Chains A and B, each alone.
Chain A
Amino acid sequence: MIKNILNLGDAALYCDFGKEINRETNTQVIRYFKSIQKENIVSINNLSPSYNKLIISFDLKKTNFKDLKKLIENLDITNEDDLENKKIEVPVCCDENFALDIVRLENKLNLKREKIYENFFSKEFFCYMTGFIAGMPFLGDLSKNMRAKRLETPRVRVPKGSVALTEQFANIYTFESPGGWNVIGNSPLRIFDSSKEESPNLINPGDIVLFKEISKNQYENYNE
């Protein structure tokens, strides 16, 4: 449930679902997101679900904070478990040329790379949200011994396809972008496809992701 609704500027509602970041809280956020989406409220022009927040942007010519807040508070939110949880396998090549931060990570976590990859590839990840850059999935949760901080100085260019870790999360860089996450491999899989307007993102909030290791040869000959 929404704990509190504040205004973010004069044209957005900031809905807080509580401090905890876990799948239950996030599932609530996604339920609200999907329920509001279904309503097709014309004054709403964007929705941003994240771990434990939902930001609702609106057209200030059509409504205002007070009226839209009332509308959202009185909305029927489906509580049924009707969220689709697609399972998606993502191939990752961990060749040294791709695993830009594996040495750094071995030191940070005090774990050998074999152990890091073993932990990573045996885990089922949950997609909490997508964004920052188009289609980038934020996936959790890494076990406690796998959690590292961001790079002290972020890279100006993280290569497209990079698979990277920070704190309890993993992500995939869908475009070349600046970024400070610890890169451990690269996926040849196309995660964002702008030609598919209906569903440009391969991975969506609520989906389950499994990473599968592939060789350099498989990476180079990868065919979707």
Chain B
Amino acid sequence: MKIIMSKNYFQVIRAGIHTTFQDEGRKNLYHVGIPFSGAMDKRNYLLSNKLVGNKINSPVLEFAYQGPLLKYFGNKINIAITGDVNFRIKKKDITIDGNCYQSLNLEDGDEVDILSTNKSVYGYLAIGGQIDLKYQWSSCSINTKASIGANDGKKFENEQVINISKLNNHSVEKKLNYINTKIENIRIIKGTNFDYFSDKGKRIFLEKVFIVSKLTDRMGMRLEGPKIENVIDTNIKSEGLIKGVIQVPADGNPIVMLSDHGTIGGYPKIGVVISADYDKLVQLSPGSKIKFKQVDLSSAENLFKLYDLETQNLISQIE
């Protein structure tokens, strides 16, 4: 790969476990077999952009668990990190611990070392300016399964560069007082195949604790726990899937569909995670406990309104 560097750029010294460019994702492509993708935790994605004065739907870096180590070259630039993230800024003669939800300046030669997401999965790094990226279907979101989006649809690799084509005008430092709350209860609406399961199976699903397994990525979250018994059929005729659907295959262990999910599936749908809880769900790291709580449609709609209002309030607090 030939590396072309612009005047202002980051060099990726360490790529991290799964670092990608993400924005709001792409829509109206399920029928082709392409999911939404986009930032997993939408609230933290929007906040990161607002903190550096970008349009809030601009592309950002999303990282999982261990993030990247980046070295910056160029004129003074503004960045911000959101999520629950441990990171350090290495300047010429000093290393400082970074604070999330606070914009900060980088100068030529400075390094950002994103060590880990703290008891969570995803964090976001927004860059104050325009990143030079390829768009496909109006989105640069990287979908590694279909090799779509910026970076040839691949996750970050060591030694690649991130070119910045335009820097934002310098503005005052921005800050937000915000702490990510952890939740154990994930609220769901009954799925279209809820009655495929035995009474005992339904009770297990709604009352018992499940553990997030290591087999969890941007496509799906596999859960482990007491088996959910199917009494009708362990297969359905293949049909569409959406984000948040909980399928239960023959082995009785639920799988929650996440942003890069396969668009068609043939396992019964026992439930669907409500829109208001999706951002919190994706932040549950392997080993976390999870309990499902059933709500009805109108409660789910109201909870989403509240959640969205809260997000809008947080965004408007950053000025």
Contacts and interface: CB of A to CB of B under 8 A. Distances in A.
Interface of A: 6-12, 14, 21, 33, 44-55, 57, 60-61, 64-65, 129-136, 138, 174-175, 177, 192, 194, 197, 200-201, 205
List of 5 A-B pairs having minimum Cβ-Cβ separation, nearest first: A48-B240, A9-B272, A55-B240, A131-B33, A10-B300
Given A65-B297, A131-B30, A205-B31, 5 more contacts: A8-B192, A9-B189, A9-B245, A47-B28, A48-B241
A33 B28 CA distance: 11
Contacts of B32: 130-131, 134-135, 200-201
B240 A10 contact: no
Contacts of A64: 301
Nearest to A30: B31
Could you say which interface size class chain B belongs to?
35 or more
Contacts of B192: 6, 8, 14
Contacts of A175: 145-147
A50 B239 contact: yes
Contacts of B153: 194
Interface of B: 27-34, 36, 136-137, 145-148, 153, 189, 191-192, 237-242, 244-245, 262-265, 269, 272-275, 297, 300-301, 304, 308
Given A51-B239, A52-B237, A134-B33, A8 B262 contact: no
Contact of A8 (B33, B242, B264): B242
Nearest to A7: B297
B36 A46 contact: yes
B235 to A, nearest CB: 9
Given A14-B192, A52-B237, A133 B145 contact: yes
A201 B273 CA distance: 31
A55 to B, nearest CB: 4
Nearest to A49: B31
Contacts of B34: 134
A33 B31 contact: yes
A130 B33 contact: yes
A40 B178 CA distance: 38
A14 B304 CA distance: 20
Nearest to A200: B32
B307 to A, nearest CB: 10
A21 B153 CA distance: 35
A188 to B, nearest CB: 18
Nearest to A19: B237
B275 A48 contact: no
Nearest to B308: A61
A50 B28 contact: no
Given A61-B308, A134-B34, A50 B240 contact: yes
A132 B30 CA distance: 9
Contacts of A174: 33
Given A132-B263, A197-B137, A51 B237 contact: yes
B193 to A, nearest CB: 11
Nearest to B236: A53
A132 B33 contact: yes
A124 B167 CA distance: 57
A52 B263 CA distance: 15
Nearest to B27: A45
A57 B274 contact: no
Contact of B304 (A60, A134, A138, A192): A60
